[in-house]
Amino acid sequence: MEHDSTVYVGLDVHKESITIAYAVDAGEVEAMGKIGTTLVEIDRLCKRLQSKAPHVRVVYEAGPCGYGLYRRLIKQGFDCMVCAPSLIPKKPGERVKTDRRDAIKLARSLRAGDLSAVYVPSVEDEAFRDLARAWASARDDLRHARQRLKSFLLSHGVHYIGRADWGVSHRRWLSKYSFENAWRQLAFDEHRRTIEDRLAQCDRLEAALREAVVEWGLYPAVLALQAMRGIQFITAVGLSSELGDLSRFEHPRQLMAWLGITPSEHSSGGTRRQGGVTKAGNSYARKLLVEAAWSYRHAARVGTQIQFRHEGLPKAIIDRAWDAQVRLCKKYRKLATRGKNVNVAVVAVARELAGFIWDIGRLAMSLALPRHTVRPA
């Protein structure tokens, strides 16, 4: 075993098995077989790999099994990468796919430097993101439950005279309404009970999230992002939990590309063609960003709610948030005057909004805001 040798290892990871392939330096890629996913078997694999060469580089695809294996291999001193499955090179016309072939392809691509790594959050950031995603899922379930109830009433010709916005009067009307048929009334009661359960779940998760965010390492970024128009607590927490540490993006264009809001392009020779946005990366973060961008259709102003969120924040962050308002509101009006479709204009605003989020988030972490500065509301 040479002292400067490197073994390149590709792992095809599944719930109950891991298929391994490896290559030492420029040698032929060989299959090592299949093992289980227990800690004992993984530790035994690490010892076998260490006997091949002093330097070990490992890669496996990001998937439902999470980052536990990555952290285990890093702890063993290996250079480990979790790669993006959609960016793995593929041969045209390839029709055979097996675990063994996938592991060999990963080892070969790792050695060639053709793989793109995904961001692996810290244990704390991943735990907070799980909580934030649970809250987002509960709110989606609530929205679906409300839609099902509205569809149920519509199918039976029941109409609410007023605005069905789930306000006090609307909920009061729902609680008093009844059907003559007992079976239909039972179905109606179950729909209402589902909504009540989802509301209680959302309240529990929101309370837990507001308590946990104060102890989170990225809490200063959550506070600072709320200084911007269109970004309240829900959006700030969602974006921060999905984006993670913004310092990993060296330039705002990298964040824009990660969010999938940069134009697609197909150019050749002297012809340049640009299409719609790529929609690559995190769809939930992109959705929150575009929703926030809709608020910049109106003239720049600082309302009462934004003033409340500005309390206790450094002047540098407040000034940057105002610069974003002026620039983005002006950009939307300019695009609208040119006759651009409203959705196209909003996405263009969202792309520049990502740049301001990158700037303000990094600024907040560098200033190290006190955790008692502002309430997370």
Rounded average pLDDT over 179-190: 96
Rounded average pLDDT over 255-267: 91
Domain CATH for 84: 3.30.420.40
| % of the chain residues with pLDDT over 70 | 97
Per-residue model confidence as pLDDT tens digits over 192-221? 999 999 999 999 999 999 999 999 999 999
Determine the structural domain holding residue 72 and report its residue range.
6-112
Statement to judge: residues 146 and 227 lie in one domain: no
* Residues 183, 188: Cα–Cα separation, whole Å: 9
Statement to judge: residues 223 and 319 lie in one domain: yes
Is there a contact between 117 and 109 (Cβ–Cβ < 8 Å)? no
Statement to judge: residues 135 and 63 lie in one domain: no
Q: If residue 144 lies in a helix (H) or strand (E), which one and from where to where?
A: helix 123-155
* Residues 89, 71: Cα–Cα separation, whole Å: 25
* Residues 103, 31: Cα–Cα separation, whole Å: 8
Q: Can you say how many angstroms the Cα of residue 132 is from the centroid of all Cα atoms in its chain?
A: 10
**In this model, does residue 245 exceed pLDDT 70?**
yes
Per-residue model confidence as pLDDT tens digits over 156-166? 999 999 899 99
Last residue within a domain, chosen from 59, 93, 112: 112
What pLDDT, on a 0 to 100 scale, did the predictor assign at position 121?
Answer: 94
What is the total count of domains within the chain?
Answer: 3
| Partner residues linked to 268 by β-bridges | 271
- The tokens of 338 are what? 């040119």
Domain assignment present for residue 260? The answer is: yes
What pLDDT, on a 0 to 100 scale, did the predictor assign at position 342?
Answer: 95
**Mean pLDDT score of the chain, rounded to an integer?**
92
Statement to judge: residues 228 and 158 lie in one domain: no
Domain assignment present for residue 252? The answer is: yes
**In this model, does residue 258 exceed pLDDT 80?**
yes
- The tokens of 94 are what? 């390839």
What pLDDT, on a 0 to 100 scale, did the predictor assign at position 264?
Answer: 87
DSSP states of 283-339? HHHHHHHHHHHGGGGSPP---HHHHHHHTT--HHHHHHHHHHHHHHHHHHHHHHHTT
| Partner residues linked to 163 by β-bridges | none
- The tokens of 44 are what? 């035994």
What pLDDT, on a 0 to 100 scale, did the predictor assign at position 327?
Answer: 96
Count of alpha carbons within 13 angstroms of residue 105, beta-carbon side? 18
What pLDDT, on a 0 to 100 scale, did the predictor assign at position 30?
Answer: 93
The pLDDT-based confidence of 6 (bands split at 50, 70, 90) is very high
Q: Is the dihedral of CA 160, 162, 165, 169 positive or negative?
A: negative
- 29 to each of 21, 49, 50, 266, how far by Cα in Å? 7, 14, 17, 35
Rounded average pLDDT over 292-320: 93
Last residue within a domain, chosen from 175, 192, 213: 213
Statement to judge: residues 87 and 167 lie in one domain: no
Last residue within a domain, chosen from 171, 192, 213: 213
Domain assignment present for residue 376? The answer is: no
Statement to judge: residues 92 and 224 lie in one domain: no
The pLDDT-based confidence of 368 (bands split at 50, 70, 90) is low
Statement to judge: residues 209 and 242 lie in one domain: no
User: Which among 52, 42, 35 has a CA at the least distance from the CA of 1?
Assistant: 52
Per-residue model confidence as pLDDT tens digits over 274-298? 888 889 889 999 999 999 999 999 9
Is there a contact between 227 and 306 (Cβ–Cβ < 8 Å)? yes
Domain assignment present for residue 118? The answer is: no
Statement to judge: residues 162 and 206 lie in one domain: yes
* Residues 104, 120: Cα–Cα separation, whole Å: 23
**In this model, does residue 244 exceed pLDDT 70?**
yes
User: Which among 40, 35, 95, 91 has a CA at the least distance from the CA of 60?
Assistant: 35
Statement to judge: residues 302 and 193 lie in one domain: no
The pLDDT-based confidence of 363 (bands split at 50, 70, 90) is very high
The pLDDT-based confidence of 29 (bands split at 50, 70, 90) is very high
The pLDDT-based confidence of 354 (bands split at 50, 70, 90) is very high
Rounded average pLDDT over 76-87: 94
What pLDDT, on a 0 to 100 scale, did the predictor assign at position 377?
Answer: 47
Q: Can you say how many angstroms the Cα of residue 222 is from the centroid of all Cα atoms in its chain?
A: 15
* Residues 258, 281: Cα–Cα separation, whole Å: 5
Domain assignment present for residue 18? The answer is: yes
Statement to judge: residues 202 and 238 lie in one domain: no
Is there a contact between 360 and 228 (Cβ–Cβ < 8 Å)? yes
- The tokens of 252 are what? 């705002």
The pLDDT-based confidence of 189 (bands split at 50, 70, 90) is very high
| % of the chain residues with pLDDT over 90 | 85
The pLDDT-based confidence of 374 (bands split at 50, 70, 90) is very low
Residue with tokens 């560098």: 366
Domain assignment present for residue 375? The answer is: no
Statement to judge: residues 231 and 349 lie in one domain: yes
**In this model, does residue 66 exceed pLDDT 60?**
yes
Domain assignment present for residue 207? The answer is: yes
Statement to judge: residues 162 and 95 lie in one domain: no
Domain assignment present for residue 373? The answer is: no
Query: C-alpha dihedral over 270, 275, 278, 279, to 10 degrees?
Result: 180
What pLDDT, on a 0 to 100 scale, did the predictor assign at position 113?
Answer: 94
**In this model, does residue 1 exceed pLDDT 60?**
no
Rounded average pLDDT over 98-107: 96
What pLDDT, on a 0 to 100 scale, did the predictor assign at position 273?
Answer: 85
